[in-house]
């Protein structure tokens, strides 16, 4: 491992209302970032390490050039999209408005597709702290070291070569065979991620669900967080509760194009602040 070259920090002037780093990285859409302190997180994306810090007026990308910000992080954090318009459009609904007031700093990340695919296979019937633990271990055992103690996410090839017994040390439970099926189908080309990326969404859904262990919910998460399909709408146990309580007649159609973002605002709000949506 080469000694990393010390660079300047890149400062982005932005309010936490528009981009809340803690909410974005700790809302269950991504399992690759660690909270270092109240306003500082660090993590790996592809083969890049990032330490990111928030103040009242700016977000600081540590040891990052402007060019790296422009080519890597701007896209990853979806910072070239105008969320104000989207939030305004979603505010017609009183429950959504409350979720936006509470969690409106969340941005939907553009995560690497294969990573999102694997992470959300692991996520099924599992809780977020343990998912993180499993993903960490997976990277440590099979990934490539990026900086001290931090590893890239394994390639499909690396994963596909394992046996169920090899995966035992990761403690995935019954999900180990699902992960292997996924990696093997990606390597063989039976599941073509480039095709998922461009296919019409119902086709993309069916392609993903050809993997054992990917059902309706996981497919929606992969589409939303790994392929940035903002109309994907994952329904987990928390969102089920939200729908039962606040949307007994169904989720409003007006939200359709951005219902994935709406879903994430609701998910984070109900999970971390149970009564916030009550009126």
Partner DNA sequence: AGCCAGGGTCTGC
Partner DNA sequence: GCAGACCATGGC
- H-type alpha helices, the chain: 21-25, 66-68, 74-76, 83-90, 94-103, 113-122, 128-142, 156-160, 164-167, 176-188, 193-198, 201-208, 216-221, 237-246, 259-272
Q: Which is nearer to DNA, 174 or 278 (CB)?
A: 174
For position 137 contacting DNA by CB under 7 A, the verdict is no
Residue for token pair 């439970």:
173
- Cα angle 48-172-222, degrees, rounded to a multiple of 5: 55
Q: Which is nearer to DNA, 146 or 208 (CB)?
A: 208
For position 174 contacting DNA by CB under 7 A, the verdict is yes
For position 104 contacting DNA by CB under 7 A, the verdict is no
Q: Which tokens go with 17?
A: 């209302």
Q: Which is nearer to DNA, 87 or 146 (CB)?
A: 87
For position 28 contacting DNA by CB under 7 A, the verdict is yes
Q: Which is nearer to DNA, 145 or 215 (CB)?
A: 215
Q: Which of 128, 147, 203, 257 binds DNA (CB under 7 A)?
A: 128
Q: Which of 54, 111, 124, 269 binds DNA (CB under 7 A)?
A: 124
**For residues 65 and 10, is the Cβ–Cβ distance under 8 A?**
yes
Using DSSP, state whether 197 is helix, strand or coil. helix
For position 212 contacting DNA by CB under 7 A, the verdict is yes
Contacting residues toward DNA, per CB under 7 A: 27-29, 120, 123-131, 133, 168, 171-174, 209, 212-219, 221, 234-239, 263-264, 267, 271
């Amino acid at each position: 491992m080469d000694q990393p070259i010390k660079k300047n920090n890149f400062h982005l002037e932005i309010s936490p209302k528009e981009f809340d780093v803690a909410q974005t990285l700790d809302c269950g859409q991504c399992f690759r970032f660690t909270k270092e302190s109240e306003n500082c997180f660090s993590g790996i994306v592809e083969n890049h390490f990032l330490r990111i810090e928030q103040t009242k007026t700016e977000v600081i990308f540590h040891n990052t050039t402007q060019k790296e910000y422009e080519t890597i992080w701007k896209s990853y954090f979806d910072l070239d999209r105008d969320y104000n318009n989207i939030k305004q459009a979603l505010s017609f609904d009183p429950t959504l408005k409350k979720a936006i007031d509470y969690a409106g700093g969340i941005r939907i990340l553009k995560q690497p597709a294969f990573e999102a695919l694997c992470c959300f296979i692991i996520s099924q019937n599992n809780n977020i702290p343990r998912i993180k633990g499993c993903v960490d271990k997976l990277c440590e055992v099979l990934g490539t070291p990026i900086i001290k103690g931090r590893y890239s996410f394994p390639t499909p090839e690396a994963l596909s070569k394992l046996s169920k017994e090899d995966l035992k040390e990761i403690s995935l439970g019954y999900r180990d065979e699902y992960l292997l099926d996924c990696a093997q189908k990606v390597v063989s080309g039976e599941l073509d991620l480039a095709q998922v990326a461009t296919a019409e969404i119902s086709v993309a859904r069916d392609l993903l669900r050809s993997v054992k262990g990917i059902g309706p919910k996981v497919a929606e998460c992969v589409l939303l967080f790994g392929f940035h399909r903002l109309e994907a709408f994952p329904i987990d146990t928390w969102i089920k509760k939200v729908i039962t309580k606040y949307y007994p007649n169904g989720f409003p159609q007006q939200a359709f194009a951005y219902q994935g973002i709406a879903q994430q605002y609701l998910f984070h709000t109900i999970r971390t602040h149970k009564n916030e949506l009550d009126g």
